């Protein structure tokens, strides 16, 4: 093998990349993993430039400098609440790059001599186009630039999505039959997946958004892997395959945690039927809660904010076990440091304090983990839904900080809503529930939350940073 040393170098870079990814298993080593993978990507880019003839090298250098400066500026100015939208845009950028380069490759290959390269380039165009447009729409929705609420789409919407999928496949087939030099076939092949990605992303909303982001991340990785096969780039194949496989696994895990299927999320199907948990009556016999929607929720008004705060402090003082449920409102208020401080003070007082994290809390996978790690919360204190849900019934106080949909009992008691059938954190089973939310409005799904009218709930409405700080007698920073 004449170029065995090049393959060896490629394997070393791939190994470094995998080693960096492996560090993401724990939040404490995630920063190190980010640095390692950045070095691997930089080395891969340098090798690509070195091994290929570049007519205008200064263009590559200028693009690298401009992109690097833009990345630094964005990373310095972006806030944690806008990170999900940024992640979605980065997914789209990866899909868009694969789309453009795959189109260039299609213009260079010839059939039937390079049928394999043409096939994978076409796959890169189709998957990359869906990732690009879908990610842009997702980013716009997450950043509140596109206000489309989640709804259960009808057969018409599904027909449009299926028609676009068929058109994309037909355009790709026409391109291979008529020849890659046909501009119309080229344009149709590029535009069809872009339209399909936009339609799919527009249909998804509510608690399904984190699943969509994860799925689009997998698409961008798959598109890169397809492009790697088309260009015979081993490093691109390896990196794309890892992103695609990990994103797919995460998507399936999150969908399962929501009692949904990925197909249902993309096609507008409702959640799988869920049986509400039985509750014992005074005689000790179990009965399922009523599934008929009750009267329209009215906000529960405590006598005064001061009285509610006094009541909440009294509940915490008498509690021995406490579970904190963080949500996207905590990110909006940037209250993670106050929440961590409250948890530490309660722990120092001899109380058992744990965090319950729903799989889709926030706007992206792992959003709450990142925020709490930033506030130096020990990873061992974070519990996934399945590991802690049964403990709410024996917990003295549950503190909800900026969460609504993931603790909304309507998901298991009210049918035919965007969150019906979705497993929730059963905070309503705790003896007392302290709600530190901005107000009593529904969460992202638009479904009213009966927790706000539960007699056991203490409502501390307002900015979460201020209300949580008031629980520990401090001023919000």
Burial tier of 365 (Cβ tally within 10 Å: 0-12, 13-18, 19+): buried
CA atoms within 13 A on the CB side of 13: 24
Q: Which residues make Cβ contacts (< 8 Å) with residue 398, sequence separation at least 6?
A: 322, 323, 324, 325, 356, 392, 427, 430, 432, 433, 434
Q: Please check whether residue 276 is in contact with residue 413, taking contact to mean a CB–CB distance below 8 angstroms.
A: yes
What's the CA gap between 106 and 128, in Å, rounded? 14
Rg (CA), the chain: 25
Q: Please check whether residue 152 is in contact with residue 270, taking contact to mean a CB–CB distance below 8 angstroms.
A: yes
Q: Please check whether residue 422 is in contact with residue 271, taking contact to mean a CB–CB distance below 8 angstroms.
A: yes
Furthest C-alpha separation in the chain: 84
Question: Among 405, 439, 440, 463, which one carries the catalytic annotation?
Answer: 405
What's the CA gap between 475 and 477, in Å, rounded? 6
What's the CA gap between 307 and 294, in Å, rounded? 28
Q: Tell me the C-alpha to C-alpha distance, in Å, between residue 187 and each of 13, 114, 115.
A: 36, 21, 20
Q: Please check whether residue 453 is in contact with residue 298, taking contact to mean a CB–CB distance below 8 angstroms.
A: yes
Burial tier of 372 (Cβ tally within 10 Å: 0-12, 13-18, 19+): buried
* 405 catalytic per annotation: yes
Q: Could you tell me whether strands 321-326 and 397-401 are parallel, antiparallel, or unpaired per DSSP bridges?
A: parallel
Which residues have a catalytic role annotated? 405
């Amino acid at each position: 093998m004449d170029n065995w040393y090049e393959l060896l170098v490629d394997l070393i870079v791939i190994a470094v990349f995998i080693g960096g990814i492996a560090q993401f298993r724990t939040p404490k080593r995630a920063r190190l993993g980010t640095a390692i993978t950045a070095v691997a990507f930089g080395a891969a880019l340098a090798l690509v430039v070195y091994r290929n003839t570049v007519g205008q090298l200064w263009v590559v250098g200028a693009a690298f400098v401009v992109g690097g400066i833009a990345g630094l500026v964005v990373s310095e100015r972006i806030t944690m609440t806008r990170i999900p939208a940024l992640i979605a845009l980065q997914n789209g950028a990866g899909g868009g790059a694969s789309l453009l380069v795959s189109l260039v490759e299609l213009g260079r290959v010839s059939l039937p001599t390079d049928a394999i390269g043409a096939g994978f380039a076409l796959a890169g165009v189709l998957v990359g186009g869906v990732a690009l447009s879908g990610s842009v729409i997702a980013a716009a929705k997450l950043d509140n630039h596109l206000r489309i609420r989640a709804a259960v789409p009808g057969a018409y919407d599904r027909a449009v999505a299926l028609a676009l999928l068929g058109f994309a496949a037909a355009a790709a087939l026409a391109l291979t039959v008529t020849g890659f030099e046909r501009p119309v076939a080229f344009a149709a092949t590029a535009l069809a997946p872009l339209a399909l990605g936009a339609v799919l992303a527009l249909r998804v909303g509510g608690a399904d958004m984190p699943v969509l982001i994860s799925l689009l991340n997998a698409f961008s990785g798959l598109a890169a892997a397809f492009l790697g096969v088309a260009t015979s780039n081993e490093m691109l194949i390896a990196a794309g395959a890892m992103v695609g496989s990990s994103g797919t696994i995460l998507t399936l895990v999150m969908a399962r945690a929501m009692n949904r299927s990925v197909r249902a999320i993309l096609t507008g199907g409702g959640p799988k039927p869920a049986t509400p948990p039985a509750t014992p009556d005074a005689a000790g016999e179990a009965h399922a809660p009523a599934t008929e929607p009750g009267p329209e929720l009215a906000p529960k008004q405590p006598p005064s904010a001061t009285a509610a705060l006094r009541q909440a402090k009294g509940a915490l003082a008498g509690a021995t076990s406490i579970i904190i449920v963080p949500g996207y409102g905590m990110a909006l208020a940037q209250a993670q440091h106050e929440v961590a401080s409250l948890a530490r003070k309660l722990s120092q007082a001899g109380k058992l304090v744990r965090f319950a994290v729903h799989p889709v809390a926030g706007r992206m996978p792992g959003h709450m983990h990142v925020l709490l790690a930033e506030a130096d919360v020990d990873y061992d204190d974070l519990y996934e839904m399945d590991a802690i849900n049964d403990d709410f019934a024996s917990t003295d106080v549950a503190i909800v900080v900026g969460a609504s949909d993931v603790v909304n009992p309507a998901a298991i008691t009210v049918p035919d809503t965007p969150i019906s059938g979705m497993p929730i954190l059963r905070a309503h089973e705790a003896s007392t529930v302290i709600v530190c939310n901005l107000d009593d409005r529904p969460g992202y799904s638009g479904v009213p939350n009966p927790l706000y009218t539960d007699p056991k709930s203490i409502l501390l409405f307002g900015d979460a940073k201020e209300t949580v700080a008031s629980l520990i007698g401090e001023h919000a920073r």
